[in-house]
Chains A and B, each alone.
Chain A
């Protein structure tokens, strides 16, 4: 008997017991759908975050105080000394091949206008900040060099801030209050959507000099350097180290974009695998369901097996019939599960802020895993069926 014949027999058996076949398949359907959906979410989030980091440009370097090892946090010492504006000025003067050196200071605060207020993240930089922050001006302008030098109280606001404080109005030229000081709005940004890397729409941008004054600080958090040639990024990195080492010794770290991305994708990759693992367990449970039903089916069909053997079915004819039945169930369940998971992921991407990305790799893995579950959990019942003694099987009531 050939494979096509076994296949037909198996299909007929599944068809004869439709309700049971569907219920058995449901376990696999749910398992596979969960795998596809969760891995889709994991991959989508990973793509979005790395995309956002990459969107900043591959020629960025981030300098932070303190020593960071290759590990994922935990082993870093608290920064002993922080950077100041002097450091960024020094770098701007002494390091060749850079387009911008941007001192960055970030702080949480509240922006008020009249009786309205909104929580914001204040992102303070110099006039070159636009080179390293993503975001597109929807109206007005960013602050100027002269305003940075004068520590002017000017602010450009994110779209959430604008919508909250200036619903339906043009904010440019109006004033808001930040840390008790009056700031003039000079520009506002387009909405960037609720990104998972942080809500950039709730940010406000002010000159770093102004920020130091209103928050009463003399340091900055980070210095971001933009090299003019991504190919020379390692040279720029060495130059930055050369300039800063006499002042800070080893107490600072220069990250390139690549390193940051590496750390991020490691973390997010691990997360995706964890999601896949959890979903995989439900697939396993589905497989046990298949085995259970196949065992019931074998004992229910003992007489059929006896008849088939009496008229000449060999061991592997029976074995393949039942294995194909189990695999048919799991493969069909897999296909339905993939469709549901994929559809769910697409709907989720469309109607929720959660990004999803169903990769061919994930689909193929889920499919073959489902088929594998069918083989693995189908073989034992099928083997039991194939070993039945024809006489015993025929006598079975």
Chain B
């Protein structure tokens, strides 16, 4: 952790008493009921809870994809409650990288072009874009798959392309919602190793999962239940994906 020991690390993102209600056929669903959390620069945090507890809802709000019904979201010290959709889009582009359970890559589009996408909307010029996308893909070990379409890649590879896309614009924070949910165990461990590796390089990672074992890859776990924060704890025996990978029976390593 690249921090001065003893100093309180900077808060990148914070929610204050965030509530989210959905109205379905006149029935109100309280997905979140007053959630206050803080994400510090450089840390790796898990948001954990059972299905339907509001994890994804929280992640969407934290990721500025959705707005809370009540409460505030503060990104890099600024309240984003009153911003327009276009301003939110610009903040997402600049500060936030997403990794989704279902990858969410553009179909019929090369890995390279997928990774370039945030840079396109950031207005980065063509050559610069290509260079940065190549760097990001190399960082996730896909330097040799840049021209492949998403459909020509394995699930694990697709998720790594998604991670490269999340990284490419140097965000303050990477949000990953069940990033291993659609992967076999080996690919899942590889993706977790990658996220831990990135975190070790100083990138802030928020991991959303219902799986206790996956959650323990982080340094800190925020337990969510029924739209509330139930507990926050420091992980004692942090799972290190790199060690798990080494312990797996030898197999040709994908990628």
The residues of A with any CB-CB pair to B shorter than 8 Å are: 1-2, 5, 9, 12, 16, 303-304, 306-317, 390-391, 394
Nearest-CB distance from B150 to chain A (Å)? 11
C-alpha spacing A382/B18, complex, angstroms: 33
Q: Judging by beta carbons under 8 Å apart, are B60 and A312 in contact?
A: no
* B88 CB → nearest A CB, Å: 9
Q: Which of A304, A307, A391 has the most CB of B within 10 A?
A: A307
Which residues of chain A are within 8 angstroms of B122 by Cβ–Cβ distance? Answer: 312
Asked if B132 is at the interface (CB within 8 A of a chain A CB), the reply is no
24 contacts between A and B (CB under 8 A): A1-B120, A2-B123, A12-B109, A303-B104, A304-B106, A307-B105, A310-B65, A310-B92, A310-B98, A311-B98, A311-B117, A311-B121, A312-B93, A312-B118, A312-B122, A312-B169, A314-B85, A315-B89, A316-B86, A317-B121, A390-B65, A391-B66, A394-B65, A394-B100
Q: Find out whether the CB atom of A391 lies under 8 angstroms from the CB atom of B65.
A: yes
Q: Which residues of B contact A317 (CB under 8 A)?
A: 121
Is B108 on the interface with A (CB-CB < 8 A)? yes
**Complex Cα gap A317–B108 (Å):** 20
A331 to B107 alpha-carbon distance, docked (Å): 26
Q: Is B233 part of the contact surface with A, judged by Cβ < 8 Å?
A: no
Q: Shortest beta-carbon distance, A240 to chain B, in Å?
A: 77
Q: Name the B residues within 8 Å of A316 (CB-CB).
A: 86
C-beta contact mask, B53-86 vs A, less than 8 Å → 1, else 0?
0000000100101100000000000000000011
CB distance from A315 to the nearest CB of B (A): 6
- Selected contact of A307 from candidates B60, B85, B104, B123, CB within 8 Å: B104
B60 proximity list for chain A (CB < 8 A) = 391
Q: Report the bound CA distance from A316 to B90 in whole Å.
A: 12
Q: Which of A12, A303, A310, A314 has the most CB of B within 10 A?
A: A310
Please give the distance in Å from A17's CB to the nearest CB on chain B.
9
Residues on the A chain within 8 Å of B98, using CB: 310-311
A residues near B66, Cβ cutoff 8 Å: 390-391
A2 to B126, CA, bound (A): 11
- Is B108's CB under 8 angstroms from A16's CB? yes
Cβ–Cβ < 8 Å partners of A315 in chain B: 85-86, 89
Let me know if B165 is at the binding interface, CB within 8 A.
Answer: yes
Does A311 contact B65, Cβ atoms closer than 8 Å? Answer: no
Instruction: Enumerate the 6 nearest inter-chain pairs by beta-carbon distance, A residue then B residue, closest first.
Output: A312-B93, A312-B121, A311-B118, A314-B86, A314-B89, A390-B65
How many positions in chain B have a CB within 8 Å of any CB in the partner chain?
A: 27
CA separation between A303 and B100, bound complex, in Å? 13
Q: Which of B65, B89, B105 contacts A313 (CB 8 A)?
A: B89
Q: How far is the CA of A308 from the CA of B89 in the complex (A)?
A: 10
Q: How far apart are B165's CB and chain A's nearest CB, in angstroms?
A: 7
Count of A-B contacts judged by CB separation below 8 Å: 60
Task: Check if B108 sits within 8 Å of A311, measured CB to CB.
Answer: no
Complex CA distance for A312 and B64, rounded to whole angstroms: 11
- Chain B residues 92 to 140 lying within 8 A of chain A, measured CB to CB, are 92-94, 98, 100, 104-109, 117-118, 120-123
Which single residue of chain A is at the shortest CB-CB distance from B86? A314
Question: What is the bound-complex CA distance between A390 and B66, given in angstroms?
Answer: 8
B106 pairs with A314, CB closer than 8 A: no
User: Which of B98, B108, B117, B120 is most buried by chain A, counting CB atoms within 10 A of its CB?
Assistant: B120
A156–chain B nearest beta-carbon distance, Å? 75
Residues of B within 8 A of A2 (CB): 123
CB-nearest residue of chain A to B92:
A312
What 17 additional pairs, Cβ within 8 angstroms, besides A312-B118, A391-B60? A1-B120, A16-B108, A307-B117, A308-B117, A308-B121, A309-B89, A310-B63, A311-B117, A311-B121, A312-B169, A314-B85, A314-B89, A315-B85, A390-B66, A391-B65, A391-B66, A394-B104
Which B residues are in CB contact (< 8 Å) with A394?
Answer: 65, 100, 104
Write out the residue numbers on chain B whose beta carbons fall within 8 Å of the beta carbon of A391.
60, 65-66
Indicate whether A312 sits within 8 Å of B85 (C-beta atoms), given known contacts A2-B123, A307-B104, A394-B65. Answer: no
Residue of A whose beta carbon sits closest to that of B165: A311
Q: In whole Å, how far is A36's beta carbon from the nearest beta carbon of chain B? A: 35
Task: Please measure, in the bound complex, the distance between the C-alpha atom of A314 and the C-alpha atom of B90, giving whole angstroms.
Answer: 7
A5 to B120, CA, bound (A): 8
A6 and chain B: residue at smallest CB distance: B120
Q: Given the complex of chains A and B, what is the CA–CA distance between A105 and B86 in angstroms? A: 81
Closest chain B residue to A9, Cβ basis: B120
Q: How far is the CA of A16 from the CA of B108 in the complex (A)?
A: 8
Assess the A1–B123 pair: CB atoms within 8 A: yes
* Cβ contact within 8 Å between B121 and A314: yes
Closest to A397 in B: B102
Assembly CA distance A156 to B118 (angstroms)? 85
Q: Is the CB of B106 within 8 A of A1?
A: no
Q: Which residues of B contact A9 (CB under 8 A)?
A: 120
> Are B93 and A311 neighbours in the complex by a CB distance under 8 Å?
yes
Q: From A315, which residue of chain B is reached at the shortest CB distance?
A: B86
* Complex contacts, B117 vs chain A, CB 8 Å: 307-308, 311
Q: Give a binary string over B204-222; 1 marks a CB under 8 Å from any A CB, 0 the rest.
A: 0000000000000000000
User: Complex formed: what's the CA distance from A5 to B118 in Å?
Assistant: 13
On whether A1 and B108 interact (CB within 8 A), knowing A312-B93, A394-B100, the answer reads no
Q: How far is the CB of A72 from chain B (nearest CB, A)?
A: 59
Contact assessment for B108 and A312 in the assembled complex, using a CB-CB cutoff below 8 Å: no
Closest to A311 in B: B118
Closest Cβ neighbor of B122 among chain A residues: A312
Kindly report which residue of chain A lies nearest to residue B103, judged by CB atoms. A307
Determine which of A1, A12, A304 lies in contact with B121 in the assembled complex, contact meaning CB atoms within 8 Å.
A1
Are B104 and A312 in contact, with the CB atoms below 8 A?
Answer: no
Task: State the CA gap A302–B193 with chains docked (Å).
Answer: 32
- Give Cα A16–Cα B113 distance, bound, in whole angstroms: 14
Alpha-carbon gap, A308 to B118, bound state (A): 8
A308 to B107, CA, bound (A): 12
* Most chain B beta-carbon neighbours within 10 Å: one of A2, A16, A311, A317: A311
**B65 and A307 within 8 A (CB):** no
